[in-house]
Amino acid sequence: MARVLLVDAHSAIFAWPELRALHQRRMLLARESLVKTLTEYQDITGIRVVAVFDGQGEHISEVSEPGGIQVFYSGQGQTADSVIERLVAMYGREHDLTVATSDLLEQDTAASFGAVCISVEILHGMIEEARAGFVRESKRHRRES
């Protein structure tokens, strides 16, 4: 069963101080930084990452690059929460899903479909821990080489 992490992207942007500061300067910078961070986490852990942003388009859109994370933008009149709920409902039985959001109602809904839910603050700590572990392992490997 594949492990998948669904991230409420705007929840992360407003909860993580470094992204919130970027967002105040320019929203696109915060989005790009979050995608870069989540891609790095996917690369380190092997966990498939999907980021969901509130969008402005008429329909739900998806963007992904080879080796990158999947990025969804909600359609007009929808929210990232509704996209996450649909993804969890569709794939919750065939994947080991974790939803990262600080929206407690969203956590309850995702959990009712079988997803494990964490706050974006906990996700931030998990990312920092994964980075530190990667650095330690890289240093150890270089010493042994």
Tell me the whole-structure pTM to 2 decimals.
0.90
Residue 85 confidence (pLDDT) above 90:
yes
Strand partners, 63: 71
The CATH number given to whatever domain includes residue 72 is: 3.40.50
Residue type, 47: I
Give the domain range for residue 135. Answer: 2-144
d(CA 34, CA 131): 15
pLDDT in tens, 73-83: 988 888 899 99
Q: How confident is the model at residue 136 (pLDDT cuts 50, 70, 90)?
A: confident
Number of domains in the chain: 1
78: which DSSP letter? -
Among the listed residues 65, 87, 71, 88, the one whose alpha carbon sits nearest the alpha carbon of residue 10 = 71
